[in-house]
Amino acid sequence: MNIAFDMMGGDYAPEEVVKGIRDYLAHQPSPAFVSLIGDIHILEPLVAQYALPAKAFKIIPSTQVIGMHEHPLKALKEKKHSSIAIGFHLLATGKVDAFISAGNTGAMLVGSLYTIKPIEGIQRPTIATIVPRENGKTGLLLDVGANADCKAEHLNQFAVLGSLYAKHILGIENPRVGLINIGEEEGKGNVLAQATYPLLKANPQINFVGNIEGRDIFMDSADVMVCEGFTGNIILKLAESLHEVIERQKIKNEYFDRFNFEDYGGTPVLGVNKPVIIGHGISHSKAYLNMLLLTQKMIETRLLEKMSESFRNV
């Protein structure tokens, strides 16, 4: 198993990335081999400083970086020697098994869509986020920003992808799927919600429990919560800001501590042919460690093969 890491992406890269990889290699019983893509002159002193075992990694030189505010498609086309472009090339050609970056999110999505490509039958790949529940359980919300505008068919596919992720990665045996709406009753909502409901209801691949409202998101009403990326991203950013306010107020609470994104690492791009993980730009070592653990679990559980099989059987 070979996992490639964009060492130059993120506000605190590459040092925090190296620290996260160090922790991963030190504590994981059977760690993957890690390919470090970045500026060799910066990386060599860091891997020596943090004593990464020589047999556990390889540095793959890159001479360019795609900045956080660059146009994704333009940057990928023009910066062929960037750490992100090289990572996608390695993944597409089978030289690595997965690719992780906390760099330019748009570039990661564009690379996933046009270099790795969607699984056959999937119209739109999606990204999801973990939602901590008051009772200690965990939910999954998708889409959270990859697709601001959607059709009912897209949400129906997100429900299947989310259900497979919840089962094989989160360990929820028969995940309940809920459609985020402005009311619980069938027939509620805007045109998209009204068109999506009957598709989810008729889908034999999911355990659909009906509409859920905003007040249900942090409760235990559904395990997989589906919406278009515009709504999902607003919910995600609201939850992040809530965690920031609580930290600034120095409020110590076990439940709200679980809103720390670093505990979950990054979000996978669900629906593409190979594992791609997108991290938060402000990630520190703990987040990078968890990105690696998540990626390894996706490979070991054959999640993408299961997704491919699911859509091939439709």
Question: Which superfamily, per CATH, for 123-261?
Answer: Isopropylmalate Dehydrogenase (3.40.718.10)
Residue 219 backbone class (left: φ over 0; alpha: ψ -120 to 50; beta: rest): beta
- Strand order across the 266-270 sheet: 57-61, 33-38, 2-6, 98-101, 276-279, 266-270, 126-132, 138-142, 224-226, 176-180, 207-212
What is the distance between the alpha carbons of residues 271 and 154, in angstroms, rounded to a whole number? Answer: 11
DSSP character at residue 133: -
Whether the per-residue pLDDT at 314 is higher than 80: the answer is no
pLDDT: is 314 or 92 the higher one?
92
pTM across the whole model = 0.92
Same topology, domains 1-122+271-302 and 123-261? Answer is: yes
Q: What is the pLDDT of residue 89?
A: 96
**Among 43-47, 171-175, 254-258, whose mean pLDDT is lowest?**
254-258
Query: Cβ neighbours of residue 141 under 8 Å, at least 6 residues apart?
Result: 128, 129, 130, 131, 217, 225, 227, 232, 235, 236
Domain ranges of the chain: 1-122+271-302, 123-261
Whether the per-residue pLDDT at 222 is higher than 70: the answer is yes
Given pLDDT bands bounded at 50, 70 and 90, which one contains residue 313? low
Q: Which helix (H) or strand (E) holds 139?
A: strand 138-142
What is the distance between the alpha carbons of residues 57 and 34, in angstroms, rounded to a whole number? Answer: 5
Given pLDDT bands bounded at 50, 70 and 90, which one contains residue 115? very high
CB-CB contact of 142 with 230 (8 Å):
no
| Ordered DSSP codes for 248-291 | HTT---HHHHTT-GGGT-EEEEETBSS-EEEE-TT--HHHHHHH
Whether the per-residue pLDDT at 243 is higher than 90: the answer is no
What is the distance between the alpha carbons of residues 157 and 53, in angstroms, rounded to a whole number? Answer: 42
Whether the per-residue pLDDT at 179 is higher than 90: the answer is yes
Query: Cβ neighbours of residue 282 under 8 Å, at least 6 residues apart?
Result: 10, 11, 12
> Which percentage of the chain shows pLDDT scores above 90?
82
Given pLDDT bands bounded at 50, 70 and 90, which one contains residue 5? very high
Residue 74 backbone class (left: φ over 0; alpha: ψ -120 to 50; beta: rest): alpha
Query: Cβ neighbours of residue 31 under 8 Å, at least 6 residues apart?
Result: 24, 25, 56, 292, 296
> Which percentage of the chain shows pLDDT scores above 70?
99
Apex 62 CA angle, 22 and 25, nearest 5: 15
Whether the per-residue pLDDT at 3 is higher than 90: the answer is yes
Q: Which residue has 């660059």 as its token pair?
A: 70
Architecture of the domain whose range is 1-122+271-302:
3-Layer(aba) Sandwich (3.40)
| pLDDT tens digits for range 54-101 | 999 999 999 999 998 889 899 999 999 999 999 999 999 999 999 999
- For residue 272, report the phi and psi dihedrals to the nearest 5 degrees: -105, 165
Helices (H), the chain: 15-27, 40-49, 72-78, 83-92, 105-111, 152-168, 191-202, 229-248, 254-257, 285-300, 303-312
Q: What is the mean pLDDT of the chain?
A: 93
Return the closest-CA partner of residue 269 out of 167, 128, 174: 128
What is the distance between the alpha carbons of residues 223 and 216, in angstroms, rounded to a whole number? Answer: 11
Whether the per-residue pLDDT at 254 is higher than 90: the answer is no
